[in-house]
Amino acid sequence: MLGWHALQQIAIDLTDSIGAADRYERLLAVVRSAIPCDATALLALRDGELVPLAVHGLSSQVLARRFRPAEHPRFRHILDSSRPVRFAAASELPDPFDGLVEGAPHALAHVHDCLGCPLVAGGVVVGVLTADALAVDAFDDLDDGFLMALGALAGAALHTARLLEQVETLAERRGMVVRELTRGGENPRSEMLGTSTAIERVRREIAAVATTDFPVLILGETGTGKELVAREIHAASDRREAPFIQVNCAALPEGVIESELFGHVRGAFTGAVANRPGKFEIADGGTLFLDEIGELPLGVQAKLLRVLQEGEVQRVGADRITRVDVRIITATNRELDREVARGQFRADLFHRLDVFPVRVPPLRERRSDITSLADYFLDRHRLRLGAPSASLTESAMKLLEASDWPGNVRELDHTVARAALRARMRTPSGMPIRVDACDIDAAPASKEPSRPAPLESSGSPLSLREALELRKRELVAAAFHGSRGNVAEAARRLGMDRSNLHHMVRRLGLVAR
């Protein structure tokens, strides 16, 4: 009666709202109470391997192992059978759990009796349930009908748990996608404005590559709109309904970026208190945009190359591989071929990413688009300022068109925002805003190279050392101003390593923003 009561308990557990791990543990606890065994294990068949889900009476080492049926004849025999299989103590087939039964004397570490049930759900084998005993003939009195019923219910329990696990994983992934898409507030869809020859070329290249799954490398100076190009490619692709996940490689510390991209398992490092999927898993089926790819550490570059080649991701601290289907788009303002020559970027990864390069032109190469861009930004900002309308005077437009724009489209946007605010300050409430040249703080384009000012201090000529220090301060300050405080970009403008720039900033008494 005890055995049939165990079957009843498994059937009841099938209807309970419990997690997968708890369901597996309860299943094995019931099995061990109904079968006179020293150890039992539940294994799921995944990608041709048997993966342990829960064990009782076996070493925890078993949970970290994967069993290929071709290498373990007993498992192969169980999987090929339609009925429970018993292996006598005299069986010559090696037992995969020999020496792994907990609490067994060393002399009795060899398992004597073993039985296994194939777990079937929907006519498909989904796993294996095993029981091992150190005693000889321990399973002789077990009824085959009972064992078959046990295997059927255990198969249903495993199938139910896997379905619930998939639902939970999908819900978690969707939640993470929502958090990624809403991080930092709203991210309204922008448009690629302009009719210049340069921007029309970019549009044609986007249309050509969007419907493929080719990796795209977007090149261009800071502020040219590389992220907008990446979003346009995704929006025109067959993945448009799937997530578009963005990662700024320059914004993540080196010790964090690997976990951020590939995920980690609980206990992989200090602070890893739970399993966590990386951006590749979150973007599965969609597009992953890696901005500032030139900042990616060499060690992480090797793992990224594996994803591109094999479509496989391995979380930090995990021994299991996860397959992902992700379209990769990358962007950089570096000349990656030069970084390859310097040994700062892997040549094999560069060639994988550079399948279809798209170069976004700087604003100075598309001056005919400046007015339309400025009008677009002005209209967006006047809504925030609560003005009924806004416009640019002719002198304001001429000044914008004549400026250098080292910060490109982003700098133009910020300049128009400041100009709109200044114009509103002198405009009565509820009246249209009229932005004039006096509201704009853009510098006109330089016609000739500027000559250095005389190196004097308090009317006295400087020494060579003082002059060199002063010139260094000027160059470093100019680099930080031109890069809008981005240390990596300032270092590139100066042609030096980022760490060396940090040392120089401290020595010169400057403050890096």
Q: What pLDDT band is residue 449 in, cutting at 50, 70 and 90?
A: very low
How far is residue 54's CA from residue 43's CA, in Å, rounded to a whole number?
A: 7
Task: Tell me: do 142 and 8 sit in the same domain.
Answer: yes
Please determine, for residue 391, whether its predicted confidence score (pLDDT) is greater than 90.
yes
Residue 407 contacts residue 223 (beta carbons within 8 Å): yes
Q: Which residues pair with 434 in a beta bridge?
A: 391
Rounded to the nearest 10°, the torsion over CA 168, 171, 172, 175 is -160
Q: What is the pLDDT of residue 16?
A: 55
Give residue-wise pLDDT tens across range 397-408: 999 998 889 899
Task: Tell me: do 304 and 340 sit in the same domain.
Answer: yes
Enclosing domain of residue 221: 197-361
Task: Tell me: do 285 and 318 sit in the same domain.
Answer: yes
- Of 382, 411, 439, the residue at which a domain comes to its end is 439
Determine, yes or no, domain membership for 180.
no
Task: Tell me: do 291 and 411 sit in the same domain.
Answer: no
Q: What pLDDT band is residue 91 in, cutting at 50, 70 and 90?
A: confident
Q: What is the pLDDT of residue 99?
A: 79
- Of 313, 337, 361, the residue at which a domain comes to its end is 361
Task: Tell me: do 57 and 12 sit in the same domain.
Answer: yes
Quick one: tokens of 181? 């898409």
How far is residue 308's CA from residue 310's CA, in Å, rounded to a whole number?
A: 6
Quick one: tokens of 117? 């049930």
How far is residue 180's CA from residue 183's CA, in Å, rounded to a whole number?
A: 5
Determine, yes or no, domain membership for 293.
yes
Quick one: tokens of 146? 């009972």
Task: Tell me which residue has tokens 């003082």.
Answer: 466
User: What percent of the chain shows pLDDT beyond 90?
Assistant: 33
Give residue-wise pLDDT tens across range 265-291: 877 887 777 778 889 988 899 999 999
Quick one: tokens of 75? 């498992």
**Residue 478 Cα distances to 41, 56, 492, 501, angstroms:** 67, 67, 13, 13
Determine, yes or no, domain membership for 41.
yes
Nearest to 53 by CA among 149, 168, 154, 158: 158
Residue 373 contacts residue 199 (beta carbons within 8 Å): no
Whether the model pTM is above 0.75: no
The string over 164-179, giving b where at least 16 C-beta atoms fall within 10 Å of a residue's C-beta and e elsewhere, is: eeeeeeeeebeebbee
Q: Long-range contacts: 424-428, Cβ < 8 Å, 24+?
A: 424/385, 424/387, 427/387
Determine, yes or no, domain membership for 422.
yes
Task: Tell me: do 327 and 312 sit in the same domain.
Answer: yes
Q: What is the pLDDT of residue 189?
A: 52
Q: What is the pLDDT of residue 286?
A: 92
Determine, yes or no, domain membership for 179.
no
Residue 355 contacts residue 214 (beta carbons within 8 Å): yes
Determine, yes or no, domain membership for 306.
yes
Q: What is the pLDDT of residue 450?
A: 43
Please state whether beta strands 312-313 and 113-121 pair in parallel, antiparallel, or not at all (unpaired): unpaired
Q: What pLDDT band is residue 443 in, cutting at 50, 70 and 90?
A: low
The terminus-to-terminus CA distance of the chain in angstroms comes to 75
- Of 361, 393, 419, the residue at which a domain comes to its end is 361
Q: What is the CATH number of the domain that holds 396?
A: 1.10.8.60
> 127-141, 269-283, 435-449, 456-470: which range is least confident on average?
456-470
Average pLDDT along the chain: 81
Cβ-in-10-Å burial (0-12, 13-18, 19+) of 456 comes to exposed
Q: What is the pLDDT of residue 106?
A: 46
Nearest to 96 by CA among 126, 66, 57: 66
Task: Tell me: do 304 and 431 sit in the same domain.
Answer: no
Q: What is the CATH number of the domain that holds 481?
A: 1.10.10
How far is residue 504's CA from residue 510's CA, in Å, rounded to a whole number?
A: 9
Total structural domains within the chain: 4
Q: What is the pLDDT of residue 156?
A: 77
Task: Tell me: do 497 and 354 sit in the same domain.
Answer: no
Task: Tell me: do 405 and 310 sit in the same domain.
Answer: no
Residue 430 contacts residue 388 (beta carbons within 8 Å): yes
How far is residue 165's CA from residue 168's CA, in Å, rounded to a whole number?
A: 5
Quick one: tokens of 302? 């090797």
Task: Tell me: do 203 and 301 sit in the same domain.
Answer: yes
Please determine, for residue 71, whether its predicted confidence score (pLDDT) is greater than 70.
yes
Q: Measure the CA angle with vertex 348, ends 284 and 218; round to 5°.
A: 60
Determine, yes or no, domain membership for 249.
yes
Determine, yes or no, domain membership for 133.
yes
Task: Tell me: do 222 and 316 sit in the same domain.
Answer: yes
Give residue-wise pLDDT tens across range 281-317: 888 999 999 999 998 988 899 989 989 998 888 888 8
Task: Tell me: do 213 and 348 sit in the same domain.
Answer: yes
